[in-house]
Amino acid sequence: MEQYVPCPVCEASRAQHADAGDRAEAVQYFDMEDCVLTAVEWDFISCPRHPDLPVPLQELVPELFMTDFPARLFLENSRLEHSEDKSSVLGQGGSGTVIYRARYQGQPVAVKQFHIKKFKNFANAPADTMLRHLRATDAMKNFSEFRQEASMLHALQHPCIVSLIGISVHPLCFALELAPLGSLNTVLSENARDSSFMPLGHMLTQKIAYQIASGLAYLHKKNIIFCDLKSDNILVWSLDPKEHVNIKLSDYGISRQSFHEGALGVEGTPGYQAPEIRPRIVYDEKVDMFSYGMVLYELLSGQRPALGHHQLQIAKKLSKGIRPVLGQPEEVQFHRLQVLMMECWDTRPEKRPLALSVVSQMQDPTFATFMYLLPCGKQSAFFSPQGQDYTVVFWDGKEGSRNYTVANVEKGLLEVQRMSCAGMTLSCQLKVHSCLWTATEDQKIYIYSLKGMCPLNTPQRALDTPAVVTCFLAVPVLKRNSYLVLAGLADGLVAVFPVVRGAPDDSCSYLCSHTANRSKFGIADDDVRQNPYPVQAMEVANSGSEVWCTNGPGLLVVDCAALEIHRRLEPFRAPSVVTSIACSSECGGEEVVWCLDDRANSLVMYHAATYQLCARYFCGDPNPLRDVFPVGPVGLEPLDSHVASPQGDRIADVSIMYSEELGTQILTHQDSVTDYCSMSSRSSSPTRCAPLSPASSSSAPFSTHAEDPDGLREPAAGCDRAEHELSPVDGDAFSQHLKAVKLLAVKDVIWVPRRGGDVIVIGLEKDAGAQRGRVVAVLKARELTAWGGLMDAAVVAKDTVVCGFANEDMEWCLAVWRGWGTREFDVFYQSYEELGRLEACTRKKR
């Protein structure tokens, strides 16, 4: 069917003659194909009835000249520096388009040009009608695709989608933002040579995956199916993880508008194309999620998802469920992203996640920090190293059947499995330099020499101790190749072994907590604090000049130079026992020491230099992410006396109150139930939060001052809360899954693993001139639910956290996490918060 359009000049002339009563002149009708072919090069077409008066093609075929677009979008061709030389070619788009490097108004841009075959002299020569028809069809197809993509780009406003700068009809092109680093495929190819997995690094891989998902979610919200998502169509702006935008999606030439009924068409790139895309088959936005899974494969492996060389061969493999091979999760070490990749490339579209749900998943820091889990079989005990070692050791059995297993968490494998090493059951161990110190339940210490992967055979040295060793600590001293090994004992003593050139000295001294408590701190023998408490933990503090060790509910501070106990601190009251100690830095860079108890389930923070108690935090909150607690200011001068007074240094007793409405609350003995009720009923203004973590509200903290040790006052008559709604809960009645297991100093934050498997991450920050503590993240891996309770945890090589889980049968599994500090969490949270802000700004501009 041929189409014609009347000449507007002839029409106007005929109307004028009709009004004057003259005979109407004939009107020229232009063939639409003539108009299209002429529009390839010219803005006007000549009418044979008035050759001296050209006809604007905008009036004949306005859709080709984009007359419905705003005038501001049309490029000033005089300001466009554009060359079609090979040196300017950046790449090729769909349908034969070519992308050139150019400049517009002095700024670098990318110009996507649509090349149309020219057909000359069609009006003066009887050209082949069929050839002219084919060329007109080709030109119309280019105009149509140009209009579709330009319309789509004009309507899209998102920080992760390439922005349209302007359009031009002669030449037929549009200008886009120019990506400084080219396509993601190019960047991956350049960086994949030196790395087996994640060639762009973990944080940047996370950010790029998130930004792609964010762009897809925006497109799908606009009912647009990308249809050709691949690394070639993802342009890279920056490789700096601190930048808010690293990539942008581009090339929408074959995108489809999708409504409720879906879309039709066979488009896409083999290897990335979803298996349900077939002729006359309706599909939806889940085809983009399949392609997204393939892009995730590229991000993780650095390789294209190659499944063959022919499109039909690739399509058959994909429809049968064959996918590119990546590696085991413990090799890749990005568990959640690998699982997401496999969910996205599921053959069944309904099983693939939506882009919006992917965005939500990736905003949880657990997604980025959980590396993998490693089953380790049936074991009896878990021991972690100190220093730059990536191994943890399991021991099992006793006497002739005793054996050990070594897990290398950097490589994600068990390097040594059930190596025999006869002896008594181990109580603890310490690896220092090339020696392994092991303590057994028969009150012995055995020192082994470590040479490569050789088995532990005959110990180099055996030492006797007056009680079972419960913990070790290596303390460096000023002498070269010398250090002290401190062994905390089950009876409260601390044995000190000087070590020179790897060998312990024959002289061994002891630090006696009982004697120090009586003679220095005035604690009577019948005081409960004089019980023979095992030394649970020791930590080096104050730049290596001191060692802080546990003594029941208190802490003893040892002077390393004099090797004597010179101070006692009282963070808790009996029957609480300090179980873990960790040393970190506060906002000003000064050392602080944290300790954890076994009954109140709370942390206490001391300023190390002044021994001043600064803060206390309850670890049993079921929803701790909202928690903010004050940190008291440090006094100008340290305490006067070296003798810690139990009455002055002791934190007040606390009671734990629980109500279904308000959850768990902590009350000091100075508080009354009346105060609690009235405080709970008032609404408080939200605390201003730094961008370190998502918005949170403050929770009621512990008091940091010494308070009246008397019991709770009787509730006032005005408190109308029923007794069953607000009742004290004994510490032992706490849900075991909320019980803190250990304190881990990870960079400048404290990680607190809890029995149920989640990890509270606490950081310190400045607020209005003061400091406060905040739970910056709560990490919880649902994959670990089946592995029982969290038994122990450790920091290995300073940047990796390992949590050991065991079930009732003592089957162990290691959960390995990236040891993030404030900087990493800050980059993570800001990455999506800033992206959301930029997206909101673009909406406002429109």
How far does CA 807 lie from the centroid of its chain?
A: 28
Say what the pLDDT of residue 59 is. 86
Give 825's contacts (C-beta < 8 A, 6+ positions apart): 365, 692, 693, 749, 761, 763, 776, 777
At a CB cut-off of 8 Å and minimum separation 6, what does 687 contact? 628, 696, 697, 698, 767
In this predicted structure, the answer to whether residue 526 has a pLDDT above a threshold of 70 is: yes
Band (pLDDT 50/70/90 cuts) for residue 206 is very high
What pLDDT does 683 receive? 36
Query: Measured between alpha carbons, how far is 373 from 603 in angstroms, rounded to an integer?
Result: 28
721-735 pLDDT, tens digit per residue, is 333 332 334 444 457
Whose CA is closest to 37, among 102, 103, 134, 161?
134
Rounded CA-CA distance 328/773 in Å is: 38
pLDDT at 118: 60
Considering 33-47, 125-139, 197-211, 703-717, the range whose residues carry the highest mean pLDDT is: 197-211
Residue 497 vs residues 385, 483, 484, 678: alpha-carbon distances, Å: 19, 9, 6, 56
> 636 is written with which tokens?
């100008």
Whether the per-residue pLDDT at 504 is higher than 90: the answer is: no
CB 13 within 8 Å of CB 6: no
Lowest mean pLDDT among 250-264, 351-365, 499-513, 680-694: 680-694
CA atoms within 13 A on the CB side of 375: 8
The pLDDT tens digits for 561-572 are 999 999 999 999
Nearest to 172 by CA among 104, 102, 98: 98
pLDDT value at residue 434: 84
pLDDT of the residue at 120: 55
Residue 258 has a pLDDT of 54
Sign of CA dihedral 828, 830, 833, 835: negative
Q: Is the peptide bond before 171 cis (omega within 30 degrees of 0)?
A: yes
3-state secondary structure of 539: strand
The pLDDT mean for the chain works out to 83
Instruction: Identify the band that residue 125 occupies on the pLDDT scale cut at 50, 70 and 90.
Output: very low
What's the pLDDT score for residue 739?
95
Looking at 139-271, which runs of residues are DSSP E strands?
164-168, 173-177, 224-225, 234-236, 247-249, 256-257
Least confident interval from 134-148, 351-365, 604-618: 134-148
Out of 102-111, 628-637, 744-753, least confident range: 628-637
List the chain domain ranges.
4-176, 180-362
What does the pLDDT read at residue 370?
A: 98
Lowest mean pLDDT among 165-169, 259-263, 445-449, 596-600: 259-263
Q: Give the type of residue at 92.
A: Q
A 10 A CB-CB count for 503 gives 12
pLDDT at 583: 95
Name which of 157-166, 238-247, 284-293, 475-484 the model is least confident about: 475-484
The pLDDT score that the predictor gives to residue 134 is 84
* 459 upstream amide cis, omega within 30 of 0: no
Phi and psi torsions of 701, nearest 5°:
-90, 170
Which pLDDT value is given to residue 753?
Answer: 97
Tens digit of each residue's pLDDT (9 = 90 or more) over 410-457: 999 999 999 999 999 999 999 988 889 999 999 999 999 887 556 887
Distance CA 505, CA 661 (A): 61
Number of C-beta neighbours around residue 709 at 10 A:
12
- Lowest-pLDDT range of 77-86, 373-382, 818-827: 77-86
> Which pair of structure tokens corresponds to residue 740?
């803190």
Helix (H, G, I), strand (E, B) or coil at 144: helix
Segment 466-476 shows an average pLDDT of 95
Looking at the chain, the whole-number percentage of residues with pLDDT higher than 70 is 81
Angle at 215 between CA 214 and CA 219, to 5 degrees: 120
* pLDDT tens, position by position, 757-804: 999 999 999 888 789 999 999 999 888 888 999 999 999 988 899 999
Residue 264 tokens, joined: 């039709």
Residue 577: per-residue pLDDT: 97
Residue 192: the pLDDT is 81
Give yes or no for residue 673 having a pLDDT over 90.
no
Place of tokens 């005035």: 522
User: Choosing from 228, 232, 288, 792, which is the catalytic residue?
Assistant: 228
What CA–CA distance (Å, rounded) separates 586 from 541?
13
In the residue annotation, 284 being an active-site residue is answered as no
> What would you report as the CA-atom Rg of the chain, rounded to the nearest whole angstrom?
36
pLDDT value at 292 more than 60: yes
CATH of domain 4-176: 3.30.200.20
Superfamily for domain range 180-362? Transferase(Phosphotransferase) domain 1 (1.10.510.10)
**d(Cα 821, Cα 365) in Å, to the nearest integer?**
12
Q: Is it the case that residue 670 has pLDDT exceeding 50?
A: no
pLDDT tens digits, 64-120: 888 888 888 999 988 999 888 888 888 877 667 888 999 999 999 999 988 876 655
Q: Which residues contact 300 (CB under 8 A, 6 or more apart)?
A: 197, 198, 205, 326, 332, 334, 337, 338, 341
Euclidean distance between the first and the last CA atom of the chain, given in angstroms as a whole number = 42
